[in-house]
Amino acid sequence: MKVTVVGSGYVGLVTGACLAEMGNHVLCMDLDERKIQVLREGGLPIHEPGLLEVVQRNVAAKRLEFTTDVDAAVRHGTLQFIAVGTPPDEDGSADLSHVVAAARAIGERMTDYKVIVDKSTVPVGTADRVREAVAQALAARGMELEFAVVSNPEFLKEGAAVEDFMRPDRIIVGGDDERALLLMRALYAPFVRSRDRLLVMDVRSAEFTKYAANAMLATRISFMNELALLAEKVGADIERVRLGMGSDPRIGYSFLYAGAGYGGSCFPKDVKALLHAAAVQGQALRVLDAVERANDQQKLVLVDKITARFGADLAGRVFALWGLAFKPGTDDMREAPSRVLVQQLLARGARVVAYDPVAMDEARRVFGDNPGIRYADSAAAALQDADALVLITEWREFKSPDFDALRTQLRQPVVFDGRNLFEPALMRAMGLEYHGIGRSAAAQPAGEGAAS
């Protein structure tokens, strides 16, 4: 099939590359000339494990191409995926200007039947706006052409995006145009060979499902984060509690980790957008409202622990920071808890020496030339003469550090673990002062071995 993907970011590029991998002819379009230039030169504008290989293989096979030419993009695909950004507007609603602009561009140029696929995360009712934008552009040209709009929200996770796209838990397609649905089924058939995971529903339910799923995941995280705060006060260990809870199949283990708050390009903005959509309808979403407030608070949890230990004035202090990306496997720092942490530490007079395996270029862009932050070449190098280590992204390479180096290189052997990566008892045995999230019982000798 001939497929155009409008927007070649995390979602568009993965979608385009994976569809090409199954034999489709894909043209990825983006207005960002730099991105397209990098792709044309054989590179990737983002960090995503396994993606470069898929891109290179399909470019070599001439099934995947990149362009900034809108005319060529509209001409190419019967299926026109819209995978542009939908960032939060000032009032928290999803900014649909890029989606509508992409739809209009299609309406202004199309000469035959097109299926316009909303892959961006968009609020309920957006398919109608897209349909309207295309219809208006066609009317302005005095043309009547058939087209369909379907919703196909994306569920990939950054850091595992290729795997998620190639082996999806489910594919959701919302729409009622039989011809369009047939094309969507055919397009996705190779991805659901072992059992049909394609759920067809009405377009509004499809749009809603994406927000509902992200809101649920954010809820689990905030719920556990608040329980972790209480666990510290009552002398329980949230990690033991997690294991005890997760073993119930009605609950499950996923997304029950307490930490330094959720970030990224999706949860914060999608929670905001759903709250905004509810407010417009006069419908209270009290649970979700609390989820967001709890997360804003949680992003400060490490700062609170640091100031409780070192005092509110951190002038002259240096903190080694392990991790900058909002989660491992990506260079994405959108809404990353590290941003709040760094900003708070610098505001209190501290300096930060940061290390992240892939997000340091992005961090340089985010923090600019702020003299308060320096970047180390390795996790070990960041430790040198720092007052304490603060870990905020659970990269694999941080999981088994050189504990002796931690003890000897830091000015004080203090570790703030924002992702509960380490066992408190082990850290203590290594001579390190350990501050996790919700782990007070395990910090007492009496709590050791409780889960074994």
Ligand X SMILES: NC(=O)c1ccc[n+]([C@@H]2O[C@H](COP(=O)([O-])OP(=O)(O)OC[C@H]3O[C@@H](n4cnc5c(N)ncnc54)[C@H](O)[C@@H]3O)[C@@H](O)[C@H]2O)c1
Site of interaction with ligand X (CB under 6 A):
6-12, 29-32, 35, 83-86, 98, 101-102, 120-121, 154, 156, 158, 265-266
Question: Which position's Cβ is nearest ligand X?
Answer: 9
Given 115, 162, 256, 266, the catalytic residue:
266
Q: How far is the CB of 151 from ligand X (least distance, A)?
A: 12
State the minimum distance, in angstroms, from the CB of residue 168 to ligand X.
12
Q: Would you say 32 or 146 has its CB closer to ligand X? A: 32
Would you tell me how many other CB atoms lie within 10 Å of the CB of residue 371? 7
Three-state secondary structure readout of the chain: CEEEEECCCHHHHHHHHHHHHCCCEEEEECCCHHHHHHHHCCCCCCCCCCHHHHHHHHHHCCCEEEECCHHHHHHHCCEEEECCCCCECCCCCECCHHHHHHHHHHHHHCCCCEEEEECCCCCCCHHHHHHHHHHHHHHHCCCCCCEEEEECCCCCCCCCHHHHHHCCCCEEEECCCHHHHHHHHHHHHHHHCCCCCEEEECHHHHHHHHHHHHHHHHHHHHHHHHHHHHHHHHCCEHHHHHHHHHCCCCCCCCCCCCCCCCCCCCHHHHHHHHHHHHHHCCCCCHHHHHHHHHHHHHCCHHHHHHHHHHCCCCCCCEEEEECCCCCCCCCCCCCCHHHHHHHHHHHCCCEEEEECCCCHHHHHHHHCCCCCEEECCCHHHHHCCCCEEEECCCCHHHCCCCHHHHHHHCCCCEEEECCCCCCHHHHHHCCCEEECCCEHHHHCHHHCCCCC
CB of 32 to ligand X, least distance (A): 4
CB of 171 to ligand X, least distance (A): 13
Annotated catalytic, 28? no
- Of 98 and 299, nearer to ligand X (C-beta) is 98
Q: Which amino acid is located at 298 in the chain? A: Q
> Which lies closer to ligand X via its Cβ, residue 137 or residue 236?
137
Q: How far is the CB of 387 from ligand X (least distance, A)?
A: 35
- How far apart are CB 365 and ligand X at their closest, in Å? 14
Nearer to ligand X, 74 or 301 (CB): 74
Of the pair 154, 356, the CB lying nearest ligand X is at: 154
Query: Which CB sits closer to ligand X, 30 or 237?
Result: 30
**Shortest Å distance, C-beta 306 to ligand X:** 30
- Cβ-based nearer residue to ligand X, 102 or 227: 102
Give the catalytic positions in this structure: 266
